[in-house]
Amino acid sequence: MLVVGALPRISPGRFATLLADAGSPAAGEALACWQAVAREGVDPLFALAVFHHESKLGTVGVVAQFDLRNPGATRTSRTGAGEPVEVPSRGQFVRYPNWTEGFRDLARRLVDPGYVYRQRGADTVEAIIPLWAPVSDGNAPGSYIRAVLDFMQRHAEEPVPGVPLEIALVPRGAANRPGYPLRVAWVTVHETANENPGADARAHQRFVHSGGGPEGVSFHFVVDDQRIVQLLPTTENGWHAGDGAQGPGNRTSVALELCVNRDGDWERTQEHGARLVVALCRAFGLTPEQVVPHQHWSGKQCPRRLLAQGFEGFRARVRQRLSAPAGEVIEIGPFKRRLGHGFLSLWRRLENNDPTLPLRILGWPLSDEFGYGAATYQVFERAVLKYAPNEPEPWRVHVAPLDEGAQVARWARERGLTA
């Protein structure tokens, strides 16, 4: 599972909830910890899974006993933050000044070009853990890998709510995967300019995997009306901006291509692109002003359709979505309700098929989310949705069975949680 150069699989809100529910001493810094990891290009859910495996989120073991504020139980610092502490019979560990610096260092060591993970191309759970917790240090990497993957699968959310994301990276060593380190400062929006039927995201995936044509182009994501495909890690540059090998477009921006095939739904493709840009802005701390057309770097009339429409319109769409918290409050009929835990993603998926479907299937939302037992629920006019974190995908979000739904709805009504 790719965790370096991947979009976050957990929202800041869910990240904070898991820390708070566990009584973690890091809970008060949850948002800053999430940001510290995401802005290094590392999936915060992976960092949380390591934290859980090492110390049950800071509540047990040497991390808790010696107040190390060290989520990875690391013995050295790559950022320079922290000081060495000698733990009897266990050796040296780092005590960080706060949890945020501990999480930042956890992520930095995975992307640092001068350190073993980047040097060996270790960017997946399966490749990282044997280096993180080697057998030579008395660890069992196989068990550690299974524990991390299990934690991530139980708590994962959609990286881009409502849009399927597929990862199909260009192989290392390909001429159009140069592999230079990327610190994301911009998002560059392109269009494929290929209007032929069938010229969708998967067709452009094949194009890039085949070398990217005579110019050897590459980009991080390609978007159509059905899906997003990731082709490069967000921690590596691509050749897409037309401003040269050292140009800021190529070397400081993450690139996405919007498909314009005439058998696709252009409006839906734009919406998918906007949602992807929002996810990137949230991960890397970018503003809508840091979202630019290809034209910004080289003068090329690209993305042609968006420029003709007025690129500021696309920015405005991003700005509107970015201003809403993850797990948005949306206006649905007479109520304003917060949809999260995948409920919003389900609502948006239904909307994508037919804007009337959510209301026809679920009706108006009668409550906000609330916890009941080990799950999270939301009551609608015609159904009760359930988020069960311990269920495997795709069953984590589903309609509660009739008897269970009636019981939960009655419980919520008795407590004044429903309208």
What CATH number should be reported for the domain holding residue 217? 3.40.80.10
Q: pTM of the full predicted structure?
A: 0.80
Residue 261 and residue 197 in contact, taking contact as beta carbons nearer than 8 Å: yes
Last residue of a domain, which of 323, 355, 380? Answer: 323
For residue 214, give Cα distances in angstroms to 167, 376, 410.
24, 52, 64
State whether 191 and 319 are in the same domain: yes
State whether 307 and 343 are in the same domain: no
Last residue of a domain, which of 289, 323, 357? Answer: 323
State whether 304 and 340 are in the same domain: no
State whether 263 and 371 are in the same domain: no
Within a domain: 37: yes
State whether 131 and 207 are in the same domain: no
Within a domain: 1: no
Please state, in angstroms and rounded to a whole number, the distance separating the CA atoms of residues 143 and 137: 14
Count: domains in the chain: 3
For residue 157, give Cα distances in angstroms to 153, 154, 248, 340.
9, 9, 32, 10
State whether 44 and 103 are in the same domain: yes
Within a domain: 419: no
At residue 176, φ and ψ (nearest 5 deg) are -95, 15
Per the structure, the complete domain to which residue 389 belongs is given by 329-414
Please, what are the averages of pLDDT over each run of 10 residues along the chain (419 residues)? 97 86 92 96 98 97 96 96 94 96 98 96 98 91 97 90 91 96 97 97 98 96 96 98 96 98 93 94 96 97 97 92 60 65 76 81 85 81 85 78 93 84
Please state, in angstroms and rounded to a whole number, the distance separating the CA atoms of residues 347 and 353: 10
Residue 111: the pLDDT is 98
Within a domain: 2: no
